[in-house]
Amino acid sequence: MLRSWPSEWKMGLMLASMEAVRRLMDLRHRGRAEDLPAVLSGAAPLLDAEAATVLLVDYAQEGLHPLRGTVPDVRTAYPVDGTPPGLAFTSARQQWLDEGGGGLLWLPLLHGAERLGVLELRVKAYPSESDRHDLEVIAALVAELIASRRFYGDAVEHTRRRLPMQLAAEIIWNQLPPLTFAVDGTMVTAVLEPCYDVGGDAFDYAANGDVLHVALFDTVGHGISASALTTLTLNTYRNARRSGLSLSDTYRSIDKWIRSQYPGAFVTALLAELEIETGAYRRISAGHPAELFLRDGAALPSFPTPNALPLGLGHMVSRPPGIIEQQLEPGDTLVFYTDGITEARDASGALFGADRLSEFLLETMRDGAGAPETMRRLIQTIVSYEAGELRDDATAAMLQWRRH
Same domain for 220 and 322?
A: yes
Q: Structural domain of residue 320, as residue ranges? A: 165-400
How far apart, in whole angstroms, are the C-alpha atoms of residue 183 and residue 64? 27
pLDDT at site 19: 82
pLDDT at site 339: 92
CATH number at residue 27: 3.30.450.40
Same domain for 294 and 152?
A: no
Residue 245: half-sphere exposure toward Cβ, Cα within 13 Å = 18
Same domain for 257 and 359?
A: yes
Residue 190 reports pLDDT greater than 70: yes
Neighbours of 183 (CB within 10 A): 13
Same domain for 128 and 15?
A: yes
In this predicted model, what pLDDT tens digit does every residue of 198-249 receive, in sequence order? 878 999 999 999 999 999 999 988 889 999 999 999 999 999 999 999 999 9
In this predicted model, what pLDDT tens digit does every residue of 155-167 receive, in sequence order? 999 999 999 999 9
Same domain for 189 and 155?
A: no
108 close to 92: Cβ distance less than 8 angstroms: yes
Stretch (H or E) spanning 147: helix 129-149
Calculate mean pLDDT across residues 60-82: 87
Same domain for 254 and 325?
A: yes
Residue 94 reports pLDDT greater than 80: yes
Report the predicted TM-score, pTM, of the whole model to 2 decimal places.
Answer: 0.91
DSSP 112: T
CATH number at residue 379: 3.60.40.10
In this predicted model, what pLDDT tens digit does every residue of 258-287 receive, in sequence order? 999 999 999 999 999 999 999 999 999 999
Q: Binning pLDDT at 50, 70 and 90, where does residue 11 land?
A: very low
pLDDT at site 75: 60
pLDDT at site 318: 85
How far apart, in whole angstroms, are the C-alpha atoms of residue 131 and residue 372? 28
Residue 300 reports pLDDT greater than 60: yes
Q: Concatenated DSSP letters for 49-93?
A: EEEEEEEEEPTTSSEEEEPTTS-TTS---EESTTSHHHHHHHHTS
Same domain for 172 and 191?
A: yes
- How far CA 268 is from CA of 185, 198, 305, in Å, comes to 29, 16, 12
pLDDT at site 84: 97
pLDDT at site 2: 36
Same domain for 268 and 391?
A: yes
Residue 323 reports pLDDT greater than 90: yes
Q: Binning pLDDT at 50, 70 and 90, where does residue 15 land?
A: low
- How far CA 103 is from CA of 100, 106, 115, 213, 317, in Å, comes to 7, 10, 24, 44, 66
Q: How many domains does the structure of the chain reveal?
A: 2
Round the average pLDDT of the chain to a whole number and report it: 91
Residue among 277, 255, 273, 151 at smallest CA distance from 210: 277
Residue 13 reports pLDDT greater than 50: yes
Contacts of 106 (CB under 8 A, 6+ apart): 84, 85, 88, 94, 95, 96, 118, 119, 120, 121
Same domain for 182 and 126?
A: no
Enumerate the β-bridge partners of residue 275: 211
Calculate mean pLDDT across residues 146-150: 91
Same domain for 209 and 332?
A: yes
Q: Indicate the Cα dihedral angle 345, 350, 355, 360, nearest 10°.
A: -60
pLDDT at site 117: 98
How far apart, in whole angstroms, are the C-alpha atoms of residue 334 and residue 328? 10
pLDDT at site 255: 97
Of 129, 159, 189, which one is at a domain's C-terminal end?
159
Same domain for 59 and 179?
A: no
Contacts of 155 (CB under 8 A, 6+ apart): 32, 33, 34, 67, 68, 69
40 close to 25: Cβ distance less than 8 angstroms: no
How far apart, in whole angstroms, are the C-alpha atoms of residue 355 and residue 196? 28
In this predicted model, what pLDDT tens digit does every residue of 351-388 receive, in sequence order? 999 999 999 999 999 999 999 999 999 999 999 999 88
Residue 40 reports pLDDT greater than 80: yes
Of 112, 128, 159, which one is at a domain's C-terminal end?
159
Residue among 187, 79, 94 at smallest CA distance from 139: 94
How far apart, in whole angstroms, are the C-alpha atoms of residue 179 and residue 181? 7
pLDDT at site 221: 80
pLDDT at site 392: 81
Of 159, 191, 224, which one is at a domain's C-terminal end?
159
Same domain for 83 and 103?
A: yes
Strands (E), 220-358: 267-275, 280-286, 292-295, 298-300, 324-327, 333-337
382 close to 191: Cβ distance less than 8 angstroms: no
How far apart, in whole angstroms, are the C-alpha atoms of residue 345 and residue 329? 34
